[in-house]
Amino acid sequence: MTTYALVPGAGGAAWVWHRVVPLLEQAGHEAVAVDLPGDDPDEGLPEYAARVVAAVDGRDDVVLVGQSMGGFTVPLVAARRPVAAVVLLNAMVPLPGETAGEWWDAVGSEAARVTAARAGGYPEEVDLDVYFLHDVDPEVAASGEGHQRPEVDRAFETPCDFERWPDVPIHAVAGEGDRFFPVDLQRRVARERLGVDLDLVPGGHLAALSHPRELAAYLLGVVR
């Protein structure tokens, strides 16, 4: 049995995985969605990693899945314990020692987002509905009230203190409709920083909410 350690993005709400968890469990695996205290000024990337490590303590076959800013937590977890594979979903992919605050300019994220917005004919100004919830069922989105929280500055300012990515299979996957981190950006970053090709699944930046079945199938395929 594989244990999927599901790491959320900014804000740290494990709720973002709530539609994927039962699908992985129905397939005979364990899924652990880790809640991270994104609004706590006393906790940052090292503390996030410690929480993930504690959540999967005692498991042997762990697949680490990091969504969005969760990509900055994943390599710290892999540096602390063995993992079978890494999956980065619509993720920020750090270099050793980089901060999440530095990442945006380093990869040209803002320019890529604006270019995609102009080509796609949707607003350039970042808006929750336009960039994150545009493909999420309104009832699903409404169920998240009370779960989401802001991400304080500490996690963006703390260097991602790891030496190298683990020597295990690493998969980069994007929601083909991601407006926040467009596919062309993610493909370039995956090649430059990980040396891997980008896979695609249906959905936008929050594909775990909009297309959980397709995402779960992809994650199960990683194990196969």
pLDDT digits (tens, 9 = 90+) for 152-198: 899 999 999 999 999 999 999 999 999 999 999 999 999 999 999 99
* Kind plus residue range of the DSSP H or E element containing 99: none
Which domains, and CATH codes, for the chain? Answer: 3-223 (3.40.50.1820)
Identify whether the C-beta of residue 140 lies closer than 8 Å to the C-beta of residue 197. no
Does 146 score more than 80 pLDDT?
A: no
- pLDDT of 223 reads 81
Q: Which residues of 56-79 are buried (b: 16+ CB within 10 A; e: fewer)?
A: beebeebbbbbbbbbbbbbbbbbb
Task: Give the three-class secondary structure for 15.
Answer: helix
pLDDT-above-90 percentage for the chain = 92
Give CA 193 to chain center in angstroms.
16
Only one residue has tokens 């999420």, namely: 136
Note the pLDDT tens digit of each residue in 65-123.
999 999 999 999 999 999 999 999 999 999 999 999 999 999 999 999 999 999 999 99
